[in-house]
Amino acid sequence: MSPHAQEEDPTNAYQSLSETTEHDDPRWAFGSGFEDVQAEIEAPVPDGVDAADLAEYCLMLGDDALVCSHRISEWVSNAPELEEEVALANTALDLLGQARVLLSRAAQVEGAGRDEDALAYLRGEAEFRNVGLAELGDDLDFGVAVARLLVFSTWRLALLSRLRDSRDPVVAAVAAKGVKELTYHRDWAARWALRLGDGTDESHRRMQAGLETVWPHVDELFRTSDVERRLVDAGVATDPAATRDEVDAVLDQVFAAATLTRPTLPGRGPLGGRAGRQGAHTEALGHVLDRLQSLARAHPGASW
């Protein structure tokens, strides 16, 4: 039966959920369900750039955004106030949007017939290229969530502000747009760090504890992978190690205003030379992917 044959029934909440128009495609149960989203995706690989490296780099930047977006989205229906829930949901949505373009670009450059949905839903843990900070769970502790977003958004903003000059047009386009979005994300996290750090004894303790939780994952952010090193030379990537001073300066600015102390915990080292960028993850990523992928894996290609 065509959906247009249905009578309008204002009491039927499910009807509006399945509202379609005559020319509409069926709605997908998960994922985007449409291709050819961004025209730029089809741009050729820049001269002198290794396609496999570019695909890998797009996965790194895309997986950081996808996995962190998922962690932030866990606050939906759990945030302390409606306004903060909306802020976190919007932040997660921005990152998801960045991830979609980057994964689409990775898929296009890879040329193996996969699309953004296949990359998001059908890869195993070892194929993800995100840093450990992105997958870190917060057990719905607001102090940890604020600390994670503060560090993540400060770092990603520093990366993307440099990537606006990337020779890859997709990376450059995501960066130019992402800079505007991440400025808001970092602003939100910094203001909460300030409010909690310079608030009551209890809020100060919790915010400081949040920082201690995320701190072992900070060093990894500034470790340059081989792929990044090659792509820096090719004018596509930016060296994460070169962002450290800028990130430290912003974090110190927040810590000073918020009466917080920079943690001194040592960073988690790579295992056998491998960390998130090489597909070596903490147990936490398995939990993220279980939630993120279970529906897609149980019902491949499902639509409604």
Partner 1 sequence: MVTAREVVARVVDPEMPMLTLDDLGVVRDVTTEGDAVTVTITPTYSGCPAVEEMRTDLADALRAAGFGPVRVRTVFAPAWSTDWISEAGRRKLAAAGVAPPGSAPRPSAGPVPLTLTVPTSVVTCPNCGSRATEELSRFGPTACTALRRCTACREPFEHMKEI
CA 154 to chain centre: 13
How many binding residues for partner 1 (CB under 8 A)?
A: 53
**Is residue 46 near partner 1 by the rule CB under 8 A?**
no
Cα separations (Å) of 173 from 101, 114, 137, 161? Answer: 10, 22, 30, 11
Nearer to partner 1, 45 or 250 (CB): 250
The one among 67, 190, 218, 275 contacting partner 1 by CB under 8 A: 190
SS3 88: helix
Print the binding letters for residues 12-31 with partner 1: x by CB under 8 A, - otherwise. ---------xxxx-------
Other C-beta atoms closer than 10 Å to the C-beta of 206 total: 19
Kindly report the length of the chain: 304
Looking at residues 69 to 88 of the shown chain, list those that interact with partner 1 (rule: CB under 8 A).
83-84, 86-87
With CB under 8 A as the contact rule, the residue among 50, 74, 115, 177 that binds partner 1 is 177
Nearest to 144 by CA among 72, 237, 234: 72
Distances (CA, A) of 118 to 70, 112, 220, 293, 296: 17, 11, 27, 10, 9
Q: Does 194 bind partner 1 (CB under 8 A)?
A: yes
Q: Does 241 bind partner 1 (CB under 8 A)?
A: no
Contact 194, 211 (CB under 8 A): no
Interacting span for partner 1 (CB under 8 A) from 8-16, 128-136, 190-198, 209-217: 190-198
| CA distance linking residue 265 with residue 259, whole number of Å | 18
Residue with Cβ nearer partner 1 (191 or 268):
191
> Does 142 sit near partner 1 (CB under 8 A)?
no
Residue selected from 36, 139, 202, 283 as contacting partner 1 according to rule CB under 8 A: 36
| Sign of the alpha-carbon dihedral angle for 286, 61, 175, 150 | positive
Q: Using the rule CB under 8 A, which residue among 63, 94, 117, 138 binds partner 1?
A: 94
Instruction: Check residue 209 for interaction with partner 1 (CB under 8 A).
Output: no
Structure tokens given for 304: 């409604």
Q: State yes or no: residue 244 binds partner 1 (CB under 8 A).
A: no
Residue with tokens 């529906």: 295
Tokens of 195: 């409010």
In angstroms, the first-to-last Cα distance of the chain is 13
51 near partner 1, judged by CB under 8 A: no
Instruction: Please identify, using beta-carbon distances, which residue of 34 and 111 lies nearer to partner 1.
Output: 34
Site of interaction with partner 1 (CB under 8 A): 21-24, 32, 34, 36-40, 83-84, 86-87, 89-91, 93-98, 100-101, 157-158, 161, 169-170, 172-174, 176-181, 183-184, 186-188, 190-191, 194, 246, 250, 253-254, 257
